[in-house]
Amino acid sequence: MSEFNIGLGNNDTKTRKDASFDFVSFWEKQAKSLSWFSPWEKTLDWNPPFAKWFVGGTINA
């Protein structure tokens, strides 16, 4: 995923636009490219100031 290093010299304007327009869908799409032991039930559980990503999912990372 080195091509998606947002803010780290990535000049791909479409990727930046997609990530800033709907960041939850953007990261869900990226996560689907990984191998999960069990899929997540909810992409983002946001209760400020706390965020839980990929709730219920299990991955070896």
Tell me which residue range forms the domain holding 37.
2-55
Kindly report, residue by residue over 4-61, the tens digit of the pLDDT.
Answer: 555 566 567 888 888 888 999 999 999 999 999 999 999 999 999 999 999 999 999 7
Q: d(Cα 2, Cα 56) in Å, to the nearest integer?
A: 26
Q: Classify residue 29: in a domain, yes or no.
A: yes
Contact 11, 18 (CB under 8 A): no
Position 25 in a domain: yes
Domain presence at residue 60? no
In a domain? residue 15: yes
In a domain, 61, yes or no: no
Domain count, the chain: 1
The DSSP code sequence of 1-61 is -GGG-TTTT---HHHHHHHHH-HHHHHHHHHTTS--SB--SEEEEEETTEEEEEET-B---
Residue 18 lies in a domain: yes
Using the Cα atoms of residue 3, residue 44, residue 55 and residue 50 in order, give the sign of their dihedral: positive
Tell whether 27 is covered by a domain: yes
